[in-house]
Amino acid sequence: MMLSLGPVATFIHILNHGFALPPLDEMYLSLRAFGLLPSAFLLASRRPAEFFILSIFAFLSKPTSILIITSYFNITIVITTILTFIFLFSLLQLYRDTRNFQQASTPCEFPVKPMLFPCETVHQRMFPIKHSFAYSYLLVGIPVGWKGCVGGLISVDSDEKPRTWCQRLFAGGSKGAWFTVDGDDYLERGHVDGGLNGKLQRYLKGQGVDPNQYSYVYLLTAARFLGYAFNPVSIWHLYSASKELKALILEVSNTFDEKRIYFLEAASEASPAKADETPMPPRYTGTWPKDFYVSTFNSRNGSYSLSASDPLFPAMSQAGPISTTITLSNSSSIPKLVGRLYSTEMALDPTTLGVWEKTRFIARWWWVGLATFPRTVKEALRLLLGKGMPWVFRPEPRKETMSRRADPTELLIEQYFRAYLQQIVANSQENIVLCYETSGLLDSALQVEVMLSPSMQLLSPSPSTSKQITKNSLTCKRGTEAELRVLTPLFYTRLVQYPTIIDALEGELQSGTVSFSSDLLTSLDLTATLLDDKISKKGSMRERKRSTATALLSQFLFLALNIFANLRTPPRSIAIPVKERSPFSPVYPTHTPKILSKPEINPFDIFILNTAPFPEQKQYVKTVLRLSVARYVALGFVEVLDLELFLFKMGILWWSLRWVLM
Same domain? For 125 and 183 the reply is yes
pLDDT band at 45 (very low <50, low <70, confident <90, very high): low
Secondary element (H or E) of residue 221: strand 216-221
Nearest to 414 by CA among 395, 442, 452, 434: 442
Mean pLDDT of the chain: 78
Q: Is residue 635 a part of any domain in this protein?
A: no
DSSP 105: P
Give residue 597's pLDDT. 44
Same domain? For 186 and 319 the reply is yes
Cα angle 544, 546, 547; round to 5:
115
Secondary element (H or E) of residue 262: strand 259-264
Range of the domain at 147: 103-270+281-386
Residue 156 has pLDDT above 90, yes or no: yes
Provide the percentage of residues in the chain whose pLDDT is more than 90: 27
pLDDT band at 395 (very low <50, low <70, confident <90, very high): confident
Please tell me whether residue 518 adopts helix, strand or coil conformation: coil
DSSP 478: B
* 617 burial level (CB within 10 Å; 0-12, 13-18, 19+): buried
Task: List, for residues 464-487, the tens digit of each pLDDT value.
Answer: 433 334 443 334 443 347 889 999
Domain C-terminal end among 580, 595, 612: 612
Mean pLDDT of all residues in 243-271: 86
Same domain? For 302 and 168 the reply is yes
Please tell me whether residue 253 adopts helix, strand or coil conformation: strand
Domain C-terminal end among 386, 421, 443: 386
Same domain? For 469 and 368 the reply is no
Residue 138 has pLDDT above 90, yes or no: yes
Residue 69 has pLDDT above 90, yes or no: no
Same domain? For 376 and 414 the reply is no
Same domain? For 343 and 413 the reply is no
Same domain? For 416 and 296 the reply is no
Give residue 531's pLDDT. 42
Q: Is residue 123 a part of any domain in this protein?
A: yes
Rounded distance, CA 549 to CA 421, Å?
Answer: 30
Rounded distance, CA 233 to CA 252, Å?
Answer: 5
Q: Is residue 248 a part of any domain in this protein?
A: yes
Q: Is residue 484 a part of any domain in this protein?
A: yes
Residue 246 has pLDDT above 70, yes or no: yes
Specify the higher pLDDT residue, 486 or 631: 486
Q: Are the CB atoms for 573 and 510 separated by under 8 Å? A: yes
Secondary element (H or E) of residue 627: helix 614-633
Q: Is residue 617 a part of any domain in this protein?
A: no
Percent helix, strand and coil across the chain, each rounded to 5?
A: 45, 20, 40
Residue 544 has pLDDT above 50, yes or no: no
Cα dihedral 186/187/193/197 (nearest 10): -80
Same domain? For 343 and 434 the reply is no
Same domain? For 361 and 493 the reply is no
Residue 57 has pLDDT above 70, yes or no: no
Residue 258 has pLDDT above 50, yes or no: yes
Least confident span in 265-279, 428-442, 490-504: 265-279
CA-based end-to-end distance of the chain: 25
DSSP 384: I
Same domain? For 452 and 576 the reply is yes
With a CB cutoff of 8 Å and minimum separation 6, the contacts of 443 are: 190
Q: Is residue 445 a part of any domain in this protein?
A: yes
Q: Which range is most confident: 246-250, 424-428, 453-457, 468-472?
A: 246-250
Q: Are the CB atoms for 292 and 279 separated by under 8 Å? A: no
Task: List, for residues 297-349, the tens digit of each pLDDT value.
Answer: 888 889 999 999 999 998 888 887 999 999 999 888 899 999 999 999 999 99
Pairing of strands 115-125, 335-343: antiparallel
Mean pLDDT of all residues in 496-522: 85
pLDDT band at 590 (very low <50, low <70, confident <90, very high): very low
Q: Is residue 468 a part of any domain in this protein?
A: yes
Sheet of 233-239: strands edge to edge?
Answer: 259-264, 245-253, 233-239, 216-221, 131-143, 115-125, 335-343, 323-329, 303-309, 283-289, 267-269
Specify the higher pLDDT residue, 121 or 626: 121
- Give the distance from CA 218 to its chain's centroid: 26
pLDDT band at 588 (very low <50, low <70, confident <90, very high): very low
Q: Which range is most confident: 89-98, 169-178, 381-390?
A: 381-390
Rounded distance, CA 183 to CA 156, Å?
Answer: 8
Residue 64 has pLDDT above 60, yes or no: yes
Rounded distance, CA 208 to CA 146, Å?
Answer: 24
pTM value surpassing 0.85: no
Number of domains in the chain: 2
Residue 375 has pLDDT above 50, yes or no: yes
Task: List, for residues 283-301, the tens digit of each pLDDT value.
Answer: 888 889 998 998 888 888 8
Least confident span in 133-142, 440-449, 523-532, 547-556: 523-532
Mean pLDDT of all residues in 576-599: 48
Same domain? For 171 and 317 the reply is yes
Give residue 600's pLDDT. 61
Residue 644 has pLDDT above 90, yes or no: no
E-strand spans in 310-447?
323-329, 335-343, 433-437
Q: Is residue 54 a part of any domain in this protein?
A: no
Domain C-terminal end among 612, 628, 651: 612
Same domain? For 211 and 300 the reply is yes
